[in-house]
Chain A
């Protein structure tokens, strides 16, 4: 119950400040999650950090939903260590032009998390001080976590069933 009131409070304060820009609010497994837009994401993050005491950026990552208008969701997990609340923020951006402002202006620690997200999903974090690949080699050419890239190399013949009488 206590968690729900806390979540309600955060939700109320956010809608007061950002109004229509906070949508799709839900509480899966007690974790307040909502969707916002890329023009206000930095304001939302700073507001959460400065006013609502979400002092800790747990994680930044992305999810690919191919075929949708806004097919890449950038996901932020934030944590208020004093009141022990977490929130999840999602921003849906276009797959053809995946750009979003960088969160390094709010937390310095966002640097590598964004580089990883760029490496795996190709999300361009505008204003990032050093946006280059971190896990894969520089000239890989693709962003491998996108769903169109299969796990196996399609050109490999040593794994094709027909060569094994199957």
Chain B
């Protein structure tokens, strides 16, 4: 066995350094990963990150599964905002197959994706509050994640591992209850978010713990390929929704919030503002939906869109297509496609190589958490341990995305 991990020794009698294993499972870390930190008192001298504890070989499994069966793999990457992952994958396949979506489907997708972005940011921001000692914020805002999950449940029947949608649209139309719940959410959530901001944004303790902590410059962030709220907090105006609009984001009017110093406080502010912008996008989408003909929830592509089960029982065509799709005999072009969506943590990319077989020849996930997290250990050096914990929660590391 050859373990090349650096081993910290304190043979030197003068040495006062303490080695601390933070993780693999530790109540203060947000997932299963290890940080071996060397501490001088409370201050971190150096650190080494180890990941891979929940590596599930998704890329290998994807090579053995037809397109439809890859969907459940994607929503297990970032389980805090799984619909974005689902739809990112579906849009990748649609790009490969050159499927044009009806506008109504695009708007419905935007609603779901923005709701899951809000859910993701709620978790991250309330946890920052929690880690700085403000449990109240967590209790106030966290119920709205529950309300979002109830909307998901109404749309697809599942809450966490959602599997929303199909290649070419949705499995079924949104019912009236779903729209009622979305409207109720839009009415109640801004009030609570305002209250949440009142509790934290001008809070002296919160500012003292976060402002000026873990500052990252623009240049460093780009050098380390950061994306998402972390990159925007440093002042780089990059959002996949604006720079490479997918689905129908070009039809919406929204701002991309940016920070200035890239510290934890800025990341918190950027995420908060993004929640406001998401609410704005959903409101616009609901207005746009009114002018679209009702009852359209998928594109007219029977050879790729999995037919509803009721039709499979009663319609020969549907049965044939169902069989062909389930057996993975979709006639997809031999091509390579890279498609990126703005996930909760940043650019979530799918690199798909199709060689005409039943399964993808190669599928690679560009996972934002994996790439963002690489900077955690270097940036922790010189930081207090208690600050490093808040830094970790502000990076919103999702262990599922870290490992794939």
Contact = CB atoms under 8 A, between A and B. Distances in A.
Contacts of B187: none
B373 to A, nearest CB: 8
- Range of interface residues on A (Cβ < 8 Å): 35 or more
Contact of B52 (A56, A134, A151): A134
Interface stretch (B21-29, B77-85, B333-341): B333-341
Contacts, number: 87
26 contacts: A33-B336, A58-B225, A59-B349, A59-B364, A59-B366, A61-B364, A63-B353, A63-B362, A75-B351, A77-B366, A81-B238, A107-B225, A108-B224, A109-B371, A112-B370, A112-B371, A112-B374, A116-B370, A134-B51, A135-B403, A136-B52, A136-B55, A144-B57, A144-B60, A145-B60, A151-B64
Interface string A47-74: 0000000011111010110000000000
Q: Which 4 A-B pairs have the closest CB atoms?
A: A109-B225, A109-B224, A135-B52, A112-B374
B11 interface: no
Given A55-B222, A77-B366, A134-B51, 7 more contacts: A28-B335, A61-B351, A75-B351, A88-B338, A107-B224, A112-B374, A135-B52
Contacts of B353: 63
B338 A31 contact: yes
B338 A151 contact: no
B59 interface: yes
Interface in A11-58: 28-29, 31, 33, 55-58
B61 A151 contact: yes
Interface string B70-88: 0000000000000000000
A135 B364 contact: no
Interface residues of B, number: 42
B244 interface: yes
Nearest to A81: B238
Contact of A139 (B2, B5, B370, B404): B2
Contact of B366 (A58, A112, A132): A58
Contacts of A58: 225, 340, 347, 349, 366
A84 interface: yes
